[in-house]
Structure 1
Amino acid sequence: MADLIAFLIEHFQDFDACPAPNDLSSLLEEVGFDGVEINYALMLLEILTAEPLISAKQEFTDSLRVYTVDETDIFPPEVIDLLHFLSREQALNPSQRELVVHALLCMPPEDITVDLAKVLSLLVLWIQRSELPVLIGDELMMALHGQTVMH
């Protein structure tokens, strides 16, 4: 999944330049991505772009996100720590964080890792054309290439 999302971000630096789902599916198949991976990516793109109440310009708040029992059963503690860190450092606003949580909940529980959370965070930021602090952006981008150091 990380490779596919990396491909999208690197080849379509502007989300608006990304082809329509049918064309994108064909392109990704031609490049050699697995059909299951393509379906997950297209599903995530649909979910993440269908949220009308989400604003990339939403103000950052000092609110505390309390995770439900279901979420804490599914998310490893490192994923919750990462989401808290990204919110605290204002890399994700509360609405963007909720989109990442929603996207993670759509994934098979055994696939949920810190790297996947980083990749999905990048996907949300890319879709919303958001800027993020350079050091945090560099760290998140490393997850796309299999090199991580942030916890």
Structure 2
Amino acid sequence: MFEVLVYVYENYWRGDACPEPEQLGRKLSAQGFDADEIREALHWLDGLSLATRGVQLERHADGSSATVLPGIAADAALPQSADAMRVYSSAEQEHIGAECLGFISFLESASVLPGGMREIVVERAMATPGEPLALDELKIIVLMVHWSTGVEPDALVLDELCDASSDRIAH
């Protein structure tokens, strides 16, 4: 499934540029992807589309950002306080794994993943098969959430999400 998601990310710059599921399925099939992988990826993308429909990222003057969810006025939503902490359920801890939860925490502390987007990442991570989730798979999920919301991550963050850390040489 993740190979299909990478293909979609690389070939359709934004989520709104992606063709309808039926047409996308035919294109993926023509590229040689397995029918089960295509079906699984299209189902996952449909869930992503539902989760991110109407989501906007709002930047504040102090450099912080907040996720504005559909149906909630920007001024009505309470911002997450700086000392707030997300507590993960046992099922989330088991499925996502400690390494991936640590990476999510890193992205939050770097102000790359506001609370609302974090929740979409966690929800989409829970919608994947297998456990625990591999870090490379989580990075694809984070990229796809940014892709679907139309929020372009910072160049350094994009490098962190796209680069395989095992290929890096320490200086």
TM-score, with length taken from structure 1? 0.86
CA deviation map 1:7-64 (0-9, x unaligned): 1122111221110000000100100112222122111211111136762315344332
Q: Tell me the equivalent position of 2:106.
A: 85
Q: Distance in 2 between matches of 1:83 and 1:52?
A: 18
Q: Which amino acid counterpart does residue 153 of structure 2 have in structure 1?
A: L
Q: Tell me the equivalent position of 2:165.
A: 148
Q: Which has the higher helix share?
A: 1
Does structure 2 retain, via aligned residues, the 8 Å contact 1:103–1:120?
yes
How does 1:1-150 map onto structure 2 within 5 Å? 1-51=1-51, 55-58=55-58, 59-60=65-66, 61=80, 62=82, 63-110=84-131, 112-142=133-163, 147-149=164-166
Q: Distance in 1 between matches of 2:37 and 2:132?
A: 12
Give unpaired runs (5+ residues) of structure 2. 59-64, 67-79
Shift of 1:79: 0.7
Greater shift in the superposed pair: 23-32 or 110-119? 110-119
Shift of 1:125: 0.3
Shift of 1:87: 1.2
Q: Which has the higher strand share?
A: 2
Larger RCO of the pair (alpha carbons < 8 Å, separation 6+): 1
Does structure 1 retain, via aligned residues, the 8 Å contact 2:52–2:145?
no
Which runs of structure 1 show a deviation greater than 2 angstroms over 4 or more consecutive aligned residues?
51-56, 58-63, 147-150
Q: Distance in 2 between matches of 1:2 and 1:55?
A: 23
Q: 1:52 to 1:19 in 2, by over 3 A?
A: closer
Give unpaired runs (5+ residues) of structure 1. none
Q: Distance in 2 between matches of 1:112 and 1:100?
A: 12
Does structure 1 retain, via aligned residues, the 8 Å contact 2:94–2:131?
no
Shift of 1:4: 1.8
Q: Distance in 2 between matches of 1:32 and 1:54?
A: 33
Q: 1:96 to 1:23 in 2, by over 3 A?
A: same
TM-score, with length taken from structure 2? 0.77
